[in-house]
Structure 1
Amino acid sequence: MSHTNDHRQDALIKRLNRIEGQIKGIKKMVLDEKETAEIMIQLNASRAALQKISQILLEAQADHSLMHVNEGKDLEKEMSTLRRVITQYNKLN
């Protein structure tokens, strides 16, 4: 794995760790019977964070597919993979 990919992976893991912390905080808010509006704010923040990760991954897949095609890999295979990722991205968002 290249340094760039390692760096990207580290950044994604940091984001996921923050989301994990947010979710634990939301769980505590529910157990502590906090106001629903406060819980919803935190749920929306967590959802936005997940959406950002999905956007980063989609962009990385697009870059990856374009580089593969540029290197002579099968265009149809790369397009199929990218379409699957886009479909999943659209379901999340």
Structure 2
Amino acid sequence: MDILEPEVNPSECGDSCCSSERKSHHSEKTKKNLVTRLNRIEGQIRGIKGLIERDTYCDDVITQISATQAALNSVAKLLLEGHMKSCIVERIQEGDNEVVDELLTTIEKLMKK
């Protein structure tokens, strides 16, 4: 599993990273990895739809749904890791401690699933 690497050094990115425009700054390698994973998940969703259309046994469909949820969770973990290592650190260094509450809310959303 690749670790998200910032495209630029957080101390050099100024307002363009996560502050005013609130954009991510993933490397091209990381973006490609995430898009590849999401394309695979998209295929899994289409596959689940096909299983339902073909009246596949419920347990088999549920197994596929579980696998898809795990894949989505994996994408979320990668994004969260990169967010914490770049955007969160940067904003705390800038004195924006409210970002901790934002992070806690994000983690709470992920844990509800």
Percent identity (aligned): 27
Q: What CA deviation, in whole Å up to 9, does each residue of 1:46-84 have, x standing for no partner?
A: 010011111111111110112444xx3124033233223
Alignment match, 2:101:
80
Unaligned runs of 5+ in 2: 1-5, 9-24
Q: Indicate the structure with greater helix content.
A: 1
SS in 2 for 1:34: coil
Q: What is the CA deviation profile of residues 14-42 of structure 1, one whole-angstrom value per residue up to 9, with x for unaligned ones? A: 11110100000010010011111111111
2:13 corresponds to which residue? none
User: Is contact 2:48–2:65 with CA below 8 Å preserved after alignment?
Assistant: yes
With the length of structure 1 as denominator, give the TM-score of the two structures: 0.81
Distance 1:84 1:37 in 2: 33
Equivalence for 1:66 = 89
Higher relative contact order structure (alpha carbons within 8 Å, sequence separation ≥ 6): 2
**Residue 111 (structure 2) aligns with:** 90
Alignment of 1:1-93 (within 5 A): 2=7, 5=26, 6-64=28-86, 65-69=88-92, 72-92=93-113
Q: How many residues align?
A: 90
Unaligned runs of 5+ in 1: none
**Once superposed, which parts of structure 1, at least 4 consecutive aligned residues long, lie more than 4 Å away?**
none
The residue identity in structure 2 corresponding to 1:46 is: T
Distance, in Å, in 2 between the alignment partners of 1:10 and 1:77 is 31
| TM-score, length of structure 2 as denominator length | 0.68
Q: Is the 8 A contact 2:91 2:97 kept in 1?
A: no
